[in-house]
């Protein structure tokens, strides 16, 4: 499998994955132009997309969905709660095949797709794992804490794109964020901090994960350096060395077109 992070931040999220010559997206929270540009950098085209898997209805995950479904006739998968919100927001063009996650077995991709619920302040957020004959990968962001369901689905993945949204001290000092917004982000239905991500990264690496990509970093309350240092130091304290036992990187706000091979 190949993974390309088209964009990843608190403002726009989109991941392109390919296996056996068939590509698909997890979320489309960037503009259609940004998607086209990101795929072009990776040597791919819009026509390479065969399906879209949506995690939840927040704009940083579905912003580009109306234009994508206008330009491309592909199925869009989402949970029941998210489907209702997508329709309420008119976020897909007329005639789009909007399908329930119960129908993932019929997705036109060369991987086994599974969804699982995540704790987030949305209608019914989910994340996904993708498994081919050799590897299992996961894309998991927008969760306030690691539930047992999340743990059971992510453990054993070779590659994980995992949320590392905010640095607690940096957010505390951020005077532009009101107290209520900070409480929402810190809540059990908000986002994972760098420390939360680091603690779970130790579990993942100890159970077979060899590649970690930190995603959904806040541009206002985090930096790639802070996220990487927090996670890397936690793993080093557990005896895992970056470059020897695992590979660690942070997804760019706007992707570089770099493909990760798994």
Give the count of beta carbons closer than 10 Å to the beta carbon of residue 259: 19
Q: What is the rounded distance in angstroms from the CA atom of residue 198 to the CA atom of residue 258?
A: 24
For the chain, the structural domain boundaries read: 2-261
Q: Which tokens in the block code for residue 191?
A: 């986002």
- pLDDT above 90 for 261: no
pLDDT of residue 154: 98
Kindly indicate the confidence band of residue 257, based on its pLDDT and cuts at 50, 70 and 90: confident
CA geometry: angle 1, 233, 150, nearest 5 deg:
50
Closest listed residue to residue 219, CA positions, set 46, 38, 7: 7
Q: Tell me the average pLDDT across 250-256.
A: 86
| Tens of pLDDT, residues 195-208 | 999 999 999 999 99
Look up the pTM and report it: 0.97
pLDDT of residue 67: 97
pLDDT of residue 255: 79
Q: What is the rounded distance in angstroms from the CA atom of residue 219 to the CA atom of residue 255?
A: 14
Q: Which tokens in the block code for residue 184?
A: 């929402």
> Residue 3: which residues within 8 A CB-CB, separation 6 or more?
15, 16, 17, 18, 137, 159, 161, 213, 259, 260, 262
| Tens of pLDDT, residues 26-73 | 999 999 999 999 999 999 999 999 999 999 999 999 999 999 999 999
- pLDDT above 90 for 214: yes
Q: What is the rounded distance in angstroms from the CA atom of residue 145 to the CA atom of residue 141?
A: 10
Q: Tell me the average pLDDT across 141-163.
A: 98
Per CATH, domain 2-261 is 3.60.15.10:
yes
Q: What is the rounded distance in angstroms from the CA atom of residue 216 to the CA atom of residue 140?
A: 10
Kindly indicate the confidence band of residue 242, based on its pLDDT and cuts at 50, 70 and 90: very high
Percent of the chain with pLDDT over 90: 95
Q: Tell me the average pLDDT across 212-227.
A: 97
| Tens of pLDDT, residues 67-91 | 999 999 999 999 999 999 999 999 9
Q: What is the rounded distance in angstroms from the CA atom of residue 95 to the CA atom of residue 109?
A: 21
Q: Is 47 helix (H, G, I), strand (E, B) or coil?
A: helix
pLDDT of residue 189: 98
pLDDT of residue 248: 97
CA geometry: angle 66, 72, 77, nearest 5 deg:
65
Strand positions, DSSP E, 141-246: 159-163, 211-215
pLDDT of residue 178: 97
pLDDT of residue 256: 74
Kindly indicate the confidence band of residue 171, based on its pLDDT and cuts at 50, 70 and 90: very high
Kindly indicate the confidence band of residue 13, based on its pLDDT and cuts at 50, 70 and 90: very high
């Amino acid at each position: 499998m190949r993974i390309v992070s088209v964009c990843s931040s608190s403002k726009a999220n989109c991941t392109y994955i390919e296996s056996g010559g068939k590509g698909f997206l997890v979320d489309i929270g960037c503009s259609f132009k940004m998607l086209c540009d990101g795929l072009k950098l990776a040597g791919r085209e819009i026509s390479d997309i065969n399906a879209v898997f949506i995690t939840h209805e927040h704009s940083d995950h579905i912003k580009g969905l109306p234009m994508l479904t206008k330009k491309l006739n592909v199925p869009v998968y989402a949970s029941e709660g998210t489907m209702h919100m997508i329709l309420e927001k008119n976020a897909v063009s007329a005639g789009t095949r909007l399908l329930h996650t119960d129908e993932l077995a019929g997705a036109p991709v060369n991987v086994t797709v599974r969804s699982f619920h995540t704790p987030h302040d949305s209608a019914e957020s989910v994340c996904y794992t993708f498994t081919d004959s050799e590897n299992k990968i996961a894309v998991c962001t927008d969760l306030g804490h690691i539930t047992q369901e999340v743990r059971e689905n992510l453990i054993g993945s070779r590659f994980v794109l995992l949320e590392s949204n905010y640095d607690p001290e940096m957010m505390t000092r951020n005077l532009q964020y009101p107290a209520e917004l900070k409480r929402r982000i810190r809540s059990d239905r908000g986002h994972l901090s760098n420390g939360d991500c680091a603690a779970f990264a130790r579990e993942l690496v100890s159970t077979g994960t060899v590649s970690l990509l930190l995603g959904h970093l806040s541009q206002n309350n985090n930096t790639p350096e802070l996220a990487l240092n927090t996670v890397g130091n936690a793993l080093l304290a557990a005896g895992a060395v970056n470059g020897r036992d695992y590979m660690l990187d942070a997804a760019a706000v706007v992707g570089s077109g770099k493909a990760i091979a798994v």
